[in-house]
Structure 1
Amino acid sequence: MMTLSLMTDALSCLPFLDMVKKAKEMGIQQLEFATGNWSNSPHLQLDTLSGSSDARQEFLGILDEYGLSISALNCSGNHLAPNALGARHLELVHKTFALASLLGVKKIVMMSGLPGACEEDASPNWITTSWPPENLQMLDWQWRERLIPSWHSLIKRAQDCNIDAIALENHGSQLVYNAYTLKHLREEVGPMVGMNLDPSHLFWMGGDPRAMARSLGSMIYHVHAKDARIEEGLFQVQGLLDTQPIEAYATRSWNYVALGYGHDLSWWKEFFSVLAMVGYDGPISLEMEDMTMDQITGVTKSIELLKAAMPRCWE
C-alpha cells in the first residue's frame, strides 16, 4: 500500500522536533531526509549522526515516538561535476551511504550527475539536442568515460552499505532525466538504480508522468509528489526552456506549485491509479516548492489533495 511521506525540506521553516510533530498532526507516515549537497539539510546533521551512536539513537527514538519512519535519505547534487563542487558532492554521497547503513535505511534518492562534455571541461554540460553532430560525440564521451564508470563504483559502495535501491530523480541538467536515459543506464549497470518519478520535472519538459509510469513499471523506486504549472500566455511565447530564476515566478514559462495548483484532483487520481496498475506500492513523498504561499499553507493544501487522490483510506 502506498504510504504518505514528506520530503522534510518542504517544512524547513520548522526545527526538527516541530517538523516531526507537524508531520504527525497532518497524518504523514514517513519522512524523507536530505543530507546535504543542494539542500541545506534542515533536519538532519550528517556528521553528528555519523559520528555518534547516541545521536542516532535519539534521532530514531523521536521518530519512533511519533510513529514515523524514514522513507529514504536524499543526497541530490552533482557528484560528476568536473570541479571542486563535484568532489565535495561525491564525498557527501559516500557519507550518506555510510549513514544509511548505520540507520538501517535501504533506499537513497539522488541524481545521476552531469559531467563536462570533454576531458578539458571545467563545468557541467547538459546536451539536449543531437545536432550539430559533435553533440553526439560529446554525449557518448560523457556516458562512456564518466557516467557509467562512476555508477559502477557507486553501486559497489552502496552494496557494501547494505543499500537495496538508488532512486534517480528525473531532473533536467542531469544525464538521466527521462525513461529512455534511465533504461540506458540500467542496461549498463544493472537494477540497483531505478527512478524517483517526479511529475513536476516531466511537466516542464513536455512529457506526461502517467505515460512515464506505464513505461517504467517496476523500475519506479520512489515517487515525489510535486506539481508544476505551465503558464498560459507565457510558454507560448517563450517555450519551456526557461532560465529565469525560480523567484521570477510572475514572468516564467512554468512554475513549481502546490499540488492541485497546476494539475487538478482528477489528474492526480489518475496518476496514482496508474502507479497502482504498474505495481508501485512505495512512498509518495511530498515535495513542495510553491513560492506564492508559505510552507505550512502549501504543505497543508498539498496533503489534503494527496489524501483525496491516493488509493487508500485514511483514519
Structure 2
Amino acid sequence: MKFGAYTACLSDRSLPEALEILAGLGLTSAEVNSGGFIPAPHCPVDAILASESARRDYLRIFEEAGVELTALNCNGNPLSPLPNEGLKHADDLRRSIEAAGRLGVRHVITMSGLPGTDPTAKYPTWVVNAWNGIDMEILDHQWSVAVPFWKEIDELARRWDIRVAIELHPRNLVFNVPTFQRLLAETGATHIGVEMDTSHLMWQQMDVPAVIRALGDKVFFAAAKDVALFDGVKTKGVLDVDFTKVPADAEGKTPVAYGYWCNAWPEDPAWRFVAVGVGHDEDYWVEVLSALREVGADMVVNIEHEDAAMSTLDGLGHAARTLLSAAERVG
C-alpha cells in the first residue's frame, strides 16, 4: 500500500513546498486538484495538455521530492443544471482524464454529480428518502441524465487507460453501495470505480470495512479522512441543515461554483470532519486498512485534511502518524 495526501490543504504553498512537507512526514504519494469545485494551483492543466516538455518538467518536481503523483482530483458536480457549475465541471473532468493519460497517472478522482428534479430545474436536488411517489419521478429523471454522461466518461477513460474513482459523497446521485451498483449496471462501465473516502460513510453511520468488502475490486483508490459525532446528533441526526451563509466579501471562502461557496458550520454541530485518529482510534484504522488491503494490495491511501480545529501541518502530522502506525500493524 502507498500512503500520501491530497495537496488541496496546502494550496497556499508552492507544489515543491507541499511535497517537501509530505515527504517529511514519511508519505510517498500525492494527489493534486485539477478542476471542479476548487482552484488547481498545483496542476497546470493547460500546459500539461499542450506540451510534452511541460509534462516532463511537472513530473520532475515529484521525482525530485521522492513523492509519486498518484491521482488528479476533479471533484465537482458535472451533472448540475447550473451552467456555470455543470458544464464547467464536466469539461474539467474530461480535461483531467486526458491530462492524467498524458502524464501516465492512472487515477482521476471525482463525484457522480447531481441533476435537478426535471429538465426545467435550475438547482440540483438530492433525494435522501424516496418514500414519496414524486421522488421516484425525480430519480428517474436524474438517472436519465447521469447514465449517458457516465457512459461517455467511461469511454473516454477507457481510451486513455484511466480509472475514474467516484467518491461516495452525500448530495450526489451516487453516495452509497446500491447507487454505485446501479450506476455500473446501467452504464456497463469498465473504467469507473470508487474512491473510498471514509469520512462521508462515517457520518452516514455506515460500516466502512463492510462497504469496502461489498465493493471489492471496484474500490480503486482511498481517501483517509475522519469524522467525530457530537451531542448535537441526539436531536439533529446526521442530516444537519443548520449551516449559515458566508458573506460574499469574507476572506478564505471555499468555492464550489462561480458565485457560490461553502457555508459555515453550525456552532453546535451534529458531526464534523476531524484529523485522522481524532474521531476513530488507531485500532479502527487497522480494520479499515486491512479491508483495503484485501481488495487491493497496491491500494493508495491519501490523507484529506479538513479539520478546522487543527492547523494544516498539525492535522497532516497527526493523520500520517496514525495511518503509518496502523499500516505497520496490518503488515
CA separation of 1:281 and 1:249: change in aligned 2, threshold 3 A: farther
Mapped partners of 1:30, 1:19: distance in 2: 12
One-letter code of the match for 1:80?
L
Any idea what the Cα deviations from partners look like across 1:274-307, whole Å, max 9, x if unmatched?
2223345310111010000110110011100011
Whole-Å Cα distance in 2 between the matches of residues 277 and 49 of structure 1? 35
Match of 1:140 in 2: 140
* 1:268, distance to aligned residue in structure 2 (A): 0.6
- Residue 228 of structure 1 and its aligned partner are, at CA, apart by 0.7
Q: Are 2:303 and 1:286 aligned?
A: yes
- Aligned-pair distance for 1:12? 2.2
Query: 1:310 aligns to what SS in structure 2?
Result: helix
| Alpha-carbon separation, structure 2, partners of 1:278 and 1:83 | 37
Q: Does 1:250 align with 2:248?
A: no
- Count residues in correspondence: 310
Per-residue deviation, 1:11: 2.1
> Any idea what the Cα deviations from partners look like across 1:155-192, whole Å, max 9, x if unmatched?
112222232x1110010011110111111111122232
* Aligned residue in 1 for 2:312: 295
Letter in 2 for 1:63: F
Tell me which residue corresponds to 2:66: 67
Structure 2 match to 1:276: 293
Aligned residue in 1 for 2:95 = 95
1:195-228 CA-partner distances (Å, limit 9, x unpaired)? 1111100111121111111211111101100001
Distance 2:4 2:329 in 1: 14
| Aligned-partner Cα distance in 2 for 1:269–1:276 | 10
Map 1:184-203; keep pairs closer than 5 Å. 184-189=182-187, 190-203=189-202
Tell me the TM-score normalized by structure 1.
0.94
- Contact 2:286-2:329 within 8 A present in 1 as well: no
Which residues of structure 2 form unaligned runs of 5+?
A: 245-262
Shift in Å, 1:14: 2.1
What's the CA shift for 1:148?
0.6
Would you say the 8 A contact 1:170–1:197 is kept in 2? yes
Deviations 1:102-139 (CA, angstroms, capped at 9, x unpaired): 11112111011111111111111111112211101210
CA distance in 2, matches of 1:139, 1:36: 27
Question: How far has the Cα of 1:153 moved from its partner?
Answer: 0.9
The aligned residue for residue 324 of structure 2 is 307
1:6-59 CA-partner distances (Å, limit 9, x unpaired): 111132232111111111111111111110211222311222322233322111
State the partner residue of 1:235: 233
1:20 aligns to 2:19 (yes or no): yes
State the distance in 2 between where 1:150 and 1:280 align. Answer: 31
SS at match of 1:88: helix
Moved over 4 A (4+): 311-314
- Over the aligned positions, Cα root-mean-square deviation in angstroms equals 1.7
Q: Report if the CA contact (8 A) 1:259-1:305 is conserved.
A: yes
* Structure 1: gaps spanning 5 or more residues: none
Instruction: Give SS of 1:269's match.
Output: helix
The Cα of 1:311 is off from its aligned counterpart by 4.6
- Tell me the SS of whatever aligns to 2:227: strand
Whether 2:160 is the aligned partner of 1:168: answer: no
Q: Secondary structure at the match of 1:99?
A: helix
Inter-CA distance 50–312: structure 2 relative to 1 (3 Å threshold): farther
2:247 corresponds in structure 1 to none
Q: Paired residue for 1:30?
A: 29
TM-score by length of 2: 0.89
Conserved 8 A contact 2:82-2:122: yes
Alignment check: 8 A CA contact 2:219 2:295 kept? no
Partners in 2 of 1:238 and 1:18 — Cα distance?
41
Please list the CA deviations of residues 57-80 of structure 1 after superposition, one character each: whole Å capped at 9, or x if unmatched: 111111112222211111110110
Residue of structure 1 in register with 2:260 after alignment:
none
Aligned residue type for 1:167: A
Give, in whole Å, the separation in 2 of the partners of 1:55 and 1:42. 15
Q: Partners in 1 of 2:235 and 2:105 — Cα distance?
A: 46
